[in-house]
Amino acid sequence: MVDFNGTKSINKDLEPVEIDVKGIEGCGDNISDVRTNQACEREICPHDEFCGGCIYQGIPYEAQLNIKEKQVEELLEAKKVSPDRVDKIEGCETAYNYRNKMEYTFGDFVKDGELTLGMHRKKSFMSIVTVDECQLVHSDFNKILVGVLGFCKYKGYLAYHKKSHKGLMRNLVIRRGVYSKEILVNIVTASDEAGGASFDNAEFVEMLKKLDLDHNLVGVLRTINDSLADAVIPEKVEILWGQDYYMEEILGLKFKVSAFSFFQTNVKAAERLYRQAIDLIDALDGKRVFDLYCGTGTISQILALKAKDVLGIELVEEAVEAAKANAELNGLDNCKFIAGDVFEVLSGVEEKPDVIVVDPPRVGIQPKALDKIISYGVKEIVYVSCNPKTLAENLKYLEYYGYKVRYLKPFDNFPMTKHVETVVLLSKTKA
């Protein structure tokens, strides 16, 4: 058995980018202040020239926050939405090591080159950059990536080719519990028959168990995926060792997170955002709440700690099953979850809410669902957004039909990337 612990993978033909950030304007010394430039703590990521994961490498963190804040402001102005109060954007405690999930792809950096494992190259569908020094993840992710890549090279496994549909190795998915310090590894391959090679399950597990990790490895999975789609599709999932989930906490509640469950990528930032969203609701005690687009029911269960009862609605059935299991785990019997399209489910629900919380996907809320939400005439709506563009469109629609944006606050939960979250409180002003 070859020991891959501590081995180093190098992208051929990839030279690190050397940029001196010490003299960049706005680079502060107080690293405890989230509005100072935390990018000054490190050199520019060596993968920055080619990796498409981050777009703000080398930009002082305060400048990143200003960019995102201005983006939200301009989108609202374009739709003529004027909140009564807008708070400054809230940044992260750290701009690094915050991601608790990564989905890597096997491939090559140049055509017919050596095996790589990582992220898609900027503006390239076929080229894959090995990101073994990524700064957005915990160092254990980089150790696992290096170990897995070394193992596959040693075994002579080939990457799955997106056009010829030949080859064994497709993806590596790593998930970790920030509070539990547990790690779950999922290797995604074609079937041995389709991939043209026999994947050595036992030796793969032994390699992972020998890695010097800070986290506790709790499970190793193998997902078989012979689909032609360029996505991780779990046609068959095998537990090679341990369990098929890890544990996590948010605001004191426990969550059992399976390999394919949606869960917040930055847990500590999500806690601040959720706390802000729930604090906006006036006198939550004794109220009935509808939590729409509830995912695995994280917000629903936090609401249920005070509310009379909570109804969570989510399109993805697996997420709803996870929500039910986690509510039981936390001893919450005042949560109910229904799988289905929000508009269709609400059309069959007789209960009327006192408060509505929405946390829609990036496409926002469709007009027929908005109409149904508006028809309840609730005094308060809390909107948690992951896309300021669709947020501005939805807020314009809600204002036209009698709601006013009372409060808005952006959150930067994903430093170095383009993404920005926003929490909004709307109140009913007219029929």
328 backbone dihedrals φ, ψ, rounded to 5°: -65, -40
Active site residue 40: no
Helix (H, G, I), strand (E, B) or coil at 138: coil
Q: Which residues of 35-64 are buried (b: 16+ CB within 10 A; e: fewer)?
A: bbbbbbeebbbbbbebbebbebbbbbbbbb
Give me the pLDDT at residue 44, please: 79
Give the predicted TM-score (pTM) of the model.
Answer: 0.86
In whole angstroms, what is the distance from residue 226 CA to residue 168 CA? Answer: 9
Give me the pLDDT at residue 260, please: 87
| CB atoms closer than 10 angstroms to residue 261 | 20
Give me the pLDDT at residue 4, please: 57
**Per-10-residue mean pLDDT, the chain, length 431:** 50 34 29 35 74 84 96 97 97 92 94 92 85 94 98 96 92 97 97 93 98 97 93 93 96 92 91 95 94 95 96 93 95 96 94 96 95 96 97 97 97 94 94 66
- Token readout for 29 is 């010394």
Are 100 and 175 in contact, with CB atoms under 8 Å apart? yes
Q: Order across the sheet with 169-176: list the strands.
A: 128-130, 115-120, 101-108, 169-176, 182-189, 216-224, 236-242
In whole angstroms, what is the distance from residue 324 CA to residue 322 CA? Answer: 5
What residues have CB less than 8 Å from 1, skipping those under 6 apart? 203, 206, 207
End-to-end CA distance of the chain: 72
In whole angstroms, what is the distance from residue 22 CA to residue 36 CA? Answer: 13
Are 283 and 264 in contact, with CB atoms under 8 Å apart? no
Of 40, 51, 152, 386, which residue is the catalytic one? 386
What residues have CB less than 8 Å from 9, skipping those under 6 apart? 116, 117, 130, 132, 145, 146, 149, 150
Domain annotation for the chain: domains and CATH numbers: 77-91+265-428 (3.40.50.150), 101-250 (2.40.50.1070)
C-alpha distances in Å from residue 358, one per residue of 42, 194, 202, 297, 300: 37, 43, 45, 12, 10
Give me the pLDDT at residue 347, please: 93
